Structure 1
Amino acid sequence: DETTLVLVEPGLDKRTKTYKALHKAATIITADPLTDRQRPAAERWLRQLASRRGVSLSPAQLRSMVERALVPDEKGYGGTIDQLQLAHAIDALAQLETVTDDVIATVLPPAREFSVFDVVTLAVERRGPALRAALDELRLSHDPYQTAALIWAQWTQLAAIACYGEAGEAEIARELSLHPYVVKKTKPLTTQVAPADIRTLTQRAAQLDADMKTTGIPPWDAVESFLFAVAGR
């Protein structure tokens, strides 16, 4: 048996007695947080970790493993790479004589294909079949009330960004106190929905939210009713 101890430190001081004691008694894996936009750095980190464990991975396999370990950010900021999941996968691969793509798929299942942010995009782009598939997937792992709240919040952001028309992304982010990445991803969507439709759909979202709280409509029903109304506008 073995124990995995995860320590979160804003600044790791290797001079401390605690670090020195851990270094003597355990295998230490340093994993600075990496985001979706730092995939090359994640691949380098993974290659070094694999090399230390005697695991040989091709460039394509490194890319595949990093892709599989990507955890989408539900707020639409891009996502982070689950390095602990990668470390466990390397431990499993180190027990094998040959590492194949099929073996990697077994020890490291594909990342979830859709995030909550994706379903709003699919609805705006009128991609009905993909929207259906995304919602079916989200139902398996997401809390319905939290999902509904995120959908309403994302639509509210879209409606607010649409009000600024041709204003620059930096100005919109500053005025609305939004993350610049959210504005960058959402602003192109606003041009695909007519202002009148935005008003009508915003009213529908507000009514469905109220119905969830007063009439007991199941949250998944409310979410699907709204998103397919967006897709069918």
Structure 2
Amino acid sequence: MDIKAAIKQLKQGQVSPLYLCYGTEKYQIQEFIALLEEQVVDREQRDFSLAAFDLAETPIEAVVEEAETLPFLVERKLIVVRDSALFTAAAKEGGKVEHRVEALLDYMNNPAEHSVIVFVVHHEKLDERKKIVKAIKTAGTVLSFAPLGGNELTQWVVREVEKRGSRIGRDAAEALIAACGVQMSALSVEVDKLCLYAGANGMIDTAAVDQLVARTTEQNVFAMVEHIAGLKLERALGIFYELLKQREEPIKIAALIARQFRIMLQVKDLARQSYSQQQIASQLGLHPYAVKIAGEQARKFEQARLKQILADLAQLDYQMKSGGIDKVLGLELFLLKLGTA
């Protein structure tokens, strides 16, 4: 089942006795659990309606016992189980807590009507070979929370702004992602701030994003490379000088520039092999939005040119570390050469 279908069922009052939420997008998982709480937990009797366990410290038998125990003063209770490595290949043998998995398998055959268990697994994949994974797919609902693709993330920002009673255009939404990064939890905080600034039915534009959203060093370098790719050398140098004012180490800046050009080369190479955006993201361990932007940047460079830039950066790194050139001057000359080539 996909996430949208599961959310629709929840809003219709259809709650599964067992959920397994896995993936790397922690913010989406937290949102889904919050929705589960709305449907299951009695707000006035929250202490009796909600239980939390960490399998790094608690055996699975304790979770099963809690689920089988009748709730007090409420009809149903929600049990949130974290660090559920039992479902992944990362499960360690001989850990400090021993789990009797058979207890959970027996429970899955006849789950209690008065309990809802949600297992949280912060891993990209489950171990499909495990009996327990096959069992929960039969007895409950398994949901994958993968990072949103480039367009999906932009649309998500637009929807979140609209939920808060403000408005934002696609350009401003993309500017926010470029400034803040792709982590949804961080984006949500910035959306709150921008909506407070814009007010009810107010419009958030790129100027507001530039004024209110502080860029990390990584995002500043990302923007610098974007300006270089767009032949906007003056803007790229402006970011570079601002980073120097913030006392950022030139060697670190050069390393981040090299990382971005390396990603561009890898994305370009994999795209030529007909890999999809999601496949490239999985292969490189990157967010799909970062792959989308790197692909757009890479189209402005020939493959041979990208390889030459990386070779030049390697040479610059050696010169900066060996004292062969002043670090600031060396990086400045590199940017000037790159922007005029």
| TM-score grouping bracket, smaller chain normalisation | 0.5 to 0.7
After superposition, the Cα gap between the structure-2 partners of 1:165 and 1:46, relative to the gap in structure 1 and judged at 3 Å, is: closer
- Residue deviations 1:188-231, cap 9 Å, x none? 33332233322322111011122333228565444433333322
Partner of residue 198, structure 1: 306
Query: In the TM superposition, what are the counterparts of 1:183-222 in structure 2 within 5 Å?
Result: 183-215=291-323, 219-222=327-330
1:138-217 correspondence to structure 2 within 5 Å: 138-141=243-246, 143-144=248-249, 145-164=251-270, 166-170=272-276, 171-215=279-323
What SS does the aligned partner of 1:192 have?
coil
Distance 1:44 1:190 in 2: 33
Q: Which moved more, 1:210-219 or 1:189-198?
A: 210-219
Deviation at 1:36, TM superposition (A): 4.7
Contact 1:128/1:228 (<8 A) preserved: yes
Matched, 1:39 2:147: no
Distance 1:40 1:200, change over 3 A: closer
CA displacement 1:55-74 (0-9 Å, x = unmatched) = xxxx5xx549xx59946467
Q: Which amino acid aligns with 1:41?
A: R
> Residues 80-108 of structure 1: CA distance to partner in whole angstroms, max 9, x if unpaired?
53537846984x999xxxxx99xxx99x9
Which residue of structure 2 aligns with residue 121 of structure 1?
226
Tell whether the 8 Å contact from 1:123 to 1:131 is kept in structure 2 after alignment.
yes
Contact 1:126 1:230 in 2 (8 A): no
Question: Amino acid of the residue matched to residue 160 of structure 1?
Answer: Q
Aligned positions, number: 190
What is the distance in 1 between the residues matched to 2:294 and 2:274?
Answer: 13
Does structure 2 conserve the Cα–Cα contact (< 8 Å) formed by 1:169 and 1:184?
A: no
Cα distance in 2 for partners of 1:182, 1:93 equals: 28
Distance 2:299 2:163 in 1: 40
Structure-1-length-normalised TM-score: 0.57
Select the structure that is richer in strand. Answer: 2
Answer whether contact 2:164 2:195 (CA < 8 A) is retained.
no
Counterpart selection for 1:130 from 232, 235, 242: 235
The equivalent position to 2:213 in structure 1, one of 111, 119, 128, is: 111
Alignment RMSD (CA, Å): 4.6
Q: Give the TM-score taking structure 2 as reference length.
A: 0.42
Identical counterparts, % of pairs = 20
